[in-house]
Amino acid sequence: MSIGFFFMLFAAQSQNFVEETILNSYADKGKIPYHVGYISMAIMYGVSTASVLFVAPIIDILKRRALPIAGFGYALFLLSFFYLNEIFLFITSVIFGFSRSVLYAAMGFYLTSNSNPNNSSLVGGGILLFIIFHNSNSKDEIQDSTVKYIYGAFTGVTIFAIAILALLRKPLNDGKARQEKQSQAQRLSSTFRLFVSKKMLYISLPFTYIGITFAFWSGIYPTTIAQTNKFDYNTHSLTGISAIATGMGQVLAGLIFGFLNSKFTNIRRDFIVLFATILHLLVYVAIYINFPKDAPLKKTCETGIIEPK
C-alpha cells in the first residue's frame, strides 16, 4: 500500500509545483487567461476541505475500493492538460479536490500502521521535473511537447498507483471490528462539537498555518522561482531542484527528530516547535530578500533586495 501511495502522491505533489508555471506558458500564447493555475489549486483545496465532511458514507459503501476510484479522479485531472480548456480544467479541479478527500479518508479506513510515503515522493517528482526541463530546448518558454511529457509521465505513474491500490487485499477486520454506525447527521454533529471544543480551537490555528504554508511552498514558491528571469540558470530546472530540496528536507527533518526523540526522551515538544518556527522565519526572510515582489504573478527581470549571481 505504501508503494501505491508513493506513486499516487509522486504525481499529485509534483504537478502542484509546476501547474501555475505551465498554465502561464499557455497564457503567454493567448490560449487561457493568466493565473488559472492558482484558481485551479484554490478550487482543489476548497472542494477537498468542504467535501471531507461528507465522504464517510462513501467510504462505508466502497471500503478499500474507494482508493483506486479516487485515483481515477487524480488521473482525469492530469489528462486535462492534454486537452487544455479553462472550463474543463476547473471541472477536473473539483473532481481532483473531491477525490483527494475520498483518498485520504479511505487511507484512514485501510491503514493499520502509520505509514507515510509523502515525503520521499516529492524527491522523485523533483528529479523527473529537473530532467525534463533541463533537456528542454527552450529556457523561457515551456513547449507543448514538454507539457505532454510531464503530464504523460504523471498520468502513467498515477495509473500504476491505481493498479496497485486496486490489488490491495481485503483487511482482516473489514466490517467486523467497527464502531456502532452513525448517521451522516450524527457524524456532522459530533464533528462540529469537536471543532468548537477549546483544545481543538487552539490546535486549529497551527493547522491553518500548515495549510497556508503548504499552499505557499507547493504552488507559489515554485512559480516565483520559474518567473524570476534574473537567474542565469534555467529557472524551470530550478523548480525541479526546489522540489528535490523540499522533499529531502522533509525526509531529513523526520529522521533527525525521530532519532532525537528515541535517544533523548527529555526533549520537549515546545523546543521543537520553537526551533521550527525560527527556521521558518529565517527561510521566509531569505525568500523575501532573494526574489522580486512581482515574481509570483508574472515573469520579471527585476531583482529582490539582493541580486542573484
Place of cell 505504501: 2
> According to the model, what pLDDT value does residue 138 have?
58
CB-based contacts of 276, cutoff 8 Å, min separation 6? none
Q: Is 228 helix (H, G, I), strand (E, B) or coil?
A: strand
| pLDDT, the chain, mean | 82
Give the whole-angstrom CA distance, residue 77 versus residue 193: 35
d(CA 269, CA 116): 21
Q: How far apart are the first and last CA of the chain?
A: 44
How confident is the model at residue 240, as a pLDDT? 82
Location of C-alpha cell 501547474: 19
Smallest Cα–Cα separation from 226: which of 139, 100, 154, 108?
Answer: 139
CA-nearest of 214, 255, 241, 239 to 295 is: 239
178 alpha carbon, distance to own chain's centre: 31
Residues of the chain whose pLDDT is less than 50? 112-119, 175-178
Residue 166 · residue 68 · CB < 8 Å: yes
Helices in 111-136 by DSSP H: which ranges? Answer: 118-134
pLDDT of residue 171: 62
Q: What is the pLDDT of residue 63?
A: 81
pLDDT value at residue 174: 53
If DSSP codes are grouped into helix, strand and coil, which group holds residue 8? helix
Residue 303's pLDDT is: 85
Grid cell 456532522 in the structure block, residue? 188
Place of cell 465532511: 53
CB contact set of 68 (below 8 Å; sequence gap of 6+): 162, 163, 165, 166
Q: CA-based Rg of the chain, rounded to a whole angstrom?
A: 21
In the prediction, which pLDDT does 160 show? 93
As given in the structure block, the three cell numbers for residue 93 are 479541479
d(Cα 103, Cα 258) in Å, to the nearest integer?
Answer: 27
Q: Which domains does the chain have, with CATH numbers?
A: 2-170+178-290 (1.20.1250)
Q: What is the pLDDT of residue 91?
A: 95
